Structure 1
Amino acid sequence: MKLYEVKENERKSLIDQLVAVWESSVRETHLFLSEEEIQRIKTYVPYALNGVTHLIVAEREPECPVAFMGVEGQRLEMLFLSPDKRGAGLGRKLLEYGIKHYGIQEVTVNEQNPQAVGFYEHMGFETYKRTEVDEEGGPYPLLYMRLV
């Protein structure tokens, strides 16, 4: 598995594939979202991918991404894996890479995604703050976690 940071001028060619990874991942893990919500959020994903400072992609074959993460400052902004790659250590590999190379110290996770919460706890993160709604005011509680 190859991990690499995608340069800003190279992102456009990968956006559709990364959105597909995002969507398949969300459908597997964000069971609390309606179809309407998934489609609504999906329209913002390309902007998020283009706007994050560091976009790291994992690919099995050249130009065939199977996972990605976005890092802003010392915060993990996004981490999504193709469903068939979950449970094989790729999320751990990406997060450890981000901690080592980008100094990741914090992450925000949907409380309604217990698998993600458990993953980050297993990786050494603890919740320090909780909100009842997400950043857009939606009914999705967020947990703010930091590496201890």
Structure 2
Amino acid sequence: MKRAHGVKIRAYSDMTDRNRLTEIWLDASRVGHPFLSESDLLDQQAKVRDIYLPQAENWVAELDGKSVAFIGLIDSFIGGLFVAPAAHGHGLGKALVLHAAGIKGALEVEVYAANKAAVGFYQRGGFVEVLRHSQDDEGRPLEVIRMRRAG
């Protein structure tokens, strides 16, 4: 793994971050969720921008002054963790999870079973499977795994 210098984690600012984070979300989702249609992704992107970002406690990772990743928390649940594809491999996702754990203690997340990279990422970070659903939140027949990391 390449370690990046100049990584900073800061609180989200709705005025300056919303558009950039929805771009990161879409780019990362195209890579991690190729089983979703472009239409589904664009519909979900609007929800991320208009509903999820405003409701969550968001933390942004900057690399050399540019926003490249974020984590959205709803209490101790990771509602989303997304890293711009060009910034993969720099430890940003791990840094964001560790930051969240430092604030919240135990964490939970739900991840698509078909997103093997994400499942592996969370397993390497100490998350264990606690439950599976046969459908996602939209009712699609896509298996979702709930995982938990002790505090």
TM-score by length of 1: 0.91
- 1:74 Cα shift? 1.2
- Partner SS, residue 15 of structure 2: coil
Distance 1:87 1:55 in 2: 21
Q: In the comparison of the two structures, how many residue pairs are matched?
A: 143
Query: 1:69–1:77: 8 Å Cα contact kept in structure 2?
Result: yes
Q: Percent identity?
A: 31
Letter aligned with residue 102 of structure 2: K
Which of 5, 11, 14 aligns to 1:11? It is 14
Distance 2:30 2:8 in 1: 25
Letter aligned with residue 124 of structure 1: G
- Aligned residue number for residue 65 of structure 1: 67
Q: Which runs of 5+ in 1 are unaligned?
A: none
Letter aligned with residue 142 of structure 1: V
TM-score by length of 2: 0.89
Letter aligned with residue 2 of structure 1: K
Distance 1:112 1:40 in 2: 20
Where in structure 1 do 4 or more consecutive aligned residues deviate above 6 Å? Answer: none
Deviations 1:52-94 (A, max 9, x none): 1x100011244x3100001111111110000011122111111
CA RMSD of aligned residues (A): 1.3
- Partner SS, residue 62 of structure 2: strand
Aligned ranges 1:1-148 → 2 under 5 Å: 1-6=7-12, 10-46=13-49, 47-52=51-56, 54-62=57-65, 64-148=66-150
Distance 1:88 1:59 in 2: 11
Distance 1:137 1:105 in 2: 24
- Aligned residue number for residue 4 of structure 2: none
- 1:35 Cα shift? 1.1
Change (3 A) 1:80 1:138: same
